[in-house]
Structure formats: structure tokens, C-alpha cells
Chain A
Amino acid sequence: MTAPMPAGAQAYPETETDDPQAAVQTRSRARSASGRGGWRGLLVQPVLIAAGTLAFVLWRATAELSDTETRQLGWSALGRNIVDHLQLTLVAGVLVLAIGIPLGVLLTRGPFRRATPLVLAVANTGQAAPAIGLFVLLATWLGFGFGFRSAVVALVLYTVLPVLRNTMVGLEGVDARLVEAGRGMGMSALAVLFRVELPLAVPVMLAGVRTALVLLVGTATLATFISGGGLGLLITTGVNLSLDALLVSGAVLVALLALAVDWVGRVIEHLARPKGL
């Protein structure tokens, strides 16, 4: 629970690092924290999310709304926005995994290894790039046009970095002696990758995946600026028509969705951690 954030790491919790000093602290803290915090921490979050959702549903059922608000917040309109939002997140998420993990593996192999520091530096810088600028530039300048497609491309570009970064850091962090031992036992390079390196790197890689998914949910709100749909639409409509009910509903629903996705990521991390670690 309490890893320090090294400079240049993605600004999200549990992103492991290549900084030896921080890594030592991480390990000594992690041991004391994982025993207690483990499952109890995982239980608090869904309770919060459920309470938040219940509060929203109750408010929606009882609040007195104007015609416009009722139409926008009708269950069908609301459902469409949520489905749009999830669609953006899922399509972009699948693409991010399909691109980020193989690329990360490739960049830590043989001849590409020399490029690793450079790629990590670029990945760190990319974090400061404003997502909104990326959306607008993709839609207008690079000719992807407005709509779902360019929103997905922008989301993938923006969130592939944490996955790529953590895959590389995780693989780099595998003890070289273990790789050597695997090779010495007569395993092929591919077998070592799949049976030694990747399983050992899984915790760090999954932390990157969760970071990316949470970022995706949040960043997908900006898709509304290039007609990509999603819950951001509620927020911008609320702002444009100065209807606070829409604005707050959109914001609350996105936050709940992000927390839910974060929780699913945590559960997967908990379950997928190899037994030996």
C-alpha cells in the first residue's frame, strides 16, 4: 500500500520502480502492509461505490427536475451515455493491452535493450502532455475527424505509456540470476520469458494496467469535446445550459465508474499475483 513515488513514475499508487533505494523501502513496507490491508482494503471500496450509486439513484428518483433535466437524466439517455463511455474505455483498453505489453516485451529483448532508457524517458514526458490537446489535434490536424474513432486513438496514445512503462520496468526488475538459471536448465529464451520473466513481472505489469484503465475512464470524459460521446457529454451539456443537476450527475457517475474500474483492477491484481511471490 505504501510505495513511495519516484520522480518520473506514473503518478498512481503501487507503481514499482527501478530506483534501488525506493525499491528497498517498497519491499520492507509492503511486507508489513500486505498482511493487514489486503482483503479489508478491497472490501471498503465496493461499499463506498455502492453507497454512492445508491445515493445517486435515490436522488434521481426523488429530485424535482426541469423538463430538460428529466430528458437528459432519463434512464435510457443515461444508460446510453454510460454504455458509450464503457465502450470507449473497453475498446481503447483492449488496444492498449494489445499494443503496450508486446511492445514492452520487445523493447527489453536483445538489440532493443539499448533503447530502454530513451523509451522510458519519453514515456515519462508523455505524462505531462495535456490529454485535451491530444484529442483536439487528432481530430483536426491529423485528419481522424470527429467521433468515436479519433477518441479511441487519442485514448490509446495517452494511456499506452503506463502499460508500456510498467511492462518494461517489471521485466527489467527480474533478477538476472533467475534468467540465467532458467537458461542453464536448458529452457529456450522463449520459455524463460513465459515461465520465468513474465510471471515475476506480473505484479508490476498489472499495476500499470490498472493505472491505464483508471486513466482511460477519466480521460474518456474529454471525448465529448470531439463528439465521442460518453459521460463527459452530461458535464458539458450541464455547463452549456447551466444546469447543475446534469453537471453534477455526470461528474459523480464518472467518479463512481473510475472507482469501480480501479476496484476491479485491484481484485485482479490480488488474484493474479503468482503464488511464489
Chain B
Amino acid sequence: MWDYLVDRRGLIAFQAVQHVSLVVQCVVLATGIAIGVAVLSYRSPRISGLANGLSAIGLTIPSFALLGLLLAPFGFGITPAVIAVVFYASLPILRNAVVGLAGVDQSLVESARGIGMSRLATLVRVELPLAWPVVLAGVRVSTQMVMGIAAVAAYVLGPGLGSLIFSGLSRLGGANALNATLVGTIAIVLLALVLDVVLVLVGRLTTSKGIRV
């Protein structure tokens, strides 16, 4: 096991970086999409109800099934992996962004409008900063979830540590097959923990001073 780690440290480090980079980029993209959709929908209870329903239904769709569906039009490679990961990552964030924005005290919004802030300025300088901790909680949930989903994405030849797990499976009984699977699995759990700690720090740094606990 130790020898394997030392011998393959280059490959393992490369896959780890690929995995984290896939997850981080997709989560950033998903955060943008989710906040955008939430901003468009949170004022109308009907549309935000629809958004929440879609997010609930989306989360019941098995990730392996979605990857399979994406294989037909997009073929193997990074495209289906990125689409699937962004899809799953955006659902919890969307849900939290809608709830966070809807939970902003209306009297504060009114005050902002009263002192002459435009609709957009109110959104950017009052509502979004107040909703941010709730949105960020969604980002943490998403990140933990897609770390695992990104591993399955290796089946459609997406990048990342999942390829170690699958190569271990396909070379079963061969030298280092078990080591590859073990390293891939443990590395994903460890990296998920590291990312979670990073997100907590990001939360400390980006939460507006007035509402920081």
C-alpha cells in the first residue's frame, strides 16, 4: 500500500487535482446558475414552488442513470461528466438560495428602497448578503454530494479519482488492483473533508460583518 502510494504519487496527485478541479469548477458554475434562477423566481410563490419541486424531483434521479442518459447524445468524455455534476450541484444550492432570499426581512428591503436604493442595488447590497449564509450552507451540501457523484462520472471517462476505482475493478486480482480502489476511495473522502473546511473558511471571510456570528 505504502509502496503503491510512493510509486504512483504522480498519477494519484494528478487524479486528485483533476477531481477537485472538476468539483470546484462545477460547484462554482452551479452556484452561479442556482443564484440566477433563485433571483428570478423567489418573488413569486408559484415559480419558487415549481423550482423547489424540480429540485426535489431532480435529486431523486439516480446519478448513474443520468450519466447513462447523457452518454447517448454526448458520448464519452468530460461533457457528460460536467453536465451531470453541475446538475446535481445546483439543486441543493437553488433550494437554499430561494429559501434564503425569501427569508430576508421585508422591512429591511423596504428600508433600502426607502433610502433611495434601486431594485438591483437592494438585491445586490441587502438581500444577497443577508441570504448568503443559507446559500453557502447549500454549497457545502452540494460539494459533499458531488464528490461522490464525480467518482461515478469516471465510468463515462470523466476526469478524477473515480478512474482509480474503476481501473482497480477492471484489473481485479492483478497487482495493485486493490490498492488503486482503496486509494481512490479514501482520497475522495479526505478531499471532501478538506473542501468542507475550506468552505467554512470561505464562509467566515465572505459573510457580511453585520450578521457574522
Contact = CB atoms under 8 A, between A and B. Distances in A.
A221 B62 contact: yes
A109 interface: no
A141 B56 contact: no
A200 B181 CA distance: 43
B195 to A, nearest CB: 9
B144 A141 contact: no
Given A125-B192, A221-B65, A141 B182 contact: yes
Contacts of A261: 60
Given A4-B99, A7-B141, A225-B169, A129 B64 contact: no
Interface in B129-151: 134, 136-138, 140-142, 144-145, 147-148, 151
A45 to B, nearest CB: 7
Nearest to A242: B71
Interface residues of A, number: 58
B65 A218 contact: yes
A140 B171 CA distance: 11
A258 B62 contact: yes
A11 B152 contact: no
Which label, helix, strand, loop or mixed, suits the secondary structure of the A interface?
Answer: helix
B165 A130 contact: yes
Interface in A235-264: 235, 238-239, 244, 247-248, 250-252, 254-255, 258-259, 261-262
A155 interface: no
A45 B99 contact: no
A127 B148 contact: yes
Which label, helix, strand, loop or mixed, suits the secondary structure of the B interface?
Answer: helix
B145 A133 contact: no
A137 B184 CA distance: 11
A240 B68 CA distance: 12
B152 A9 contact: no
Nearest to A19: B137
B178 A141 contact: yes
Chain B CB count within 10 A is highest, among A124, A133, A218, A250, for: A133
A147 interface: no
B152 A137 contact: no
A258 B178 contact: no
Interface stretch (B4-12, B24-32, B47-55, B114-122): B47-55
Interface string A1-17: 11111111101110000
A214 B48 CA distance: 23
Given A129-B188, A141-B178, A244 B100 contact: no
Contact of B62 (A2, A6, A128, A219): A219
B182 to A, nearest CB: 7
B140 A140 contact: no
A29 interface: yes
Interface residues of B, number: 60
B99 A25 contact: yes
Interface string B172-194: 10000110011011001100110
A192 to B, nearest CB: 33
Nearest to A261: B60
B69 interface: yes
A41 B177 CA distance: 48
Nearest to A4: B99
A37 interface: yes
A125 B186 CA distance: 12
A232 B165 contact: no
Interface in A1-56: 1-9, 11-13, 22, 25, 29, 33, 37, 41, 44-45, 48
30 contacts: A1-B56, A2-B95, A4-B95, A4-B137, A6-B141, A8-B140, A11-B59, A25-B99, A128-B144, A130-B151, A130-B188, A131-B151, A132-B165, A133-B181, A133-B185, A140-B177, A140-B181, A141-B178, A214-B60, A218-B60, A218-B64, A219-B62, A244-B71, A244-B72, A247-B71, A250-B65, A252-B69, A259-B61, A261-B60, A262-B57
Given A2-B49, A124-B144, A131-B148, 8 more contacts: A1-B52, A5-B92, A5-B95, A128-B192, A130-B147, A130-B152, A130-B188, A254-B64
Interface of A: 1-9, 11-13, 22, 25, 29, 33, 37, 41, 44-45, 48, 124-125, 127-134, 136-137, 140-141, 214, 217-219, 221-222, 225, 232, 235, 238-239, 244, 247-248, 250-252, 254-255, 258-259, 261-262
For the complex of A and B, 10 pairs with smallest distance between CB atoms: A218-B62, A133-B185, A128-B192, A130-B151, A251-B68, A7-B140, A251-B65, A4-B99, A254-B65, A7-B137
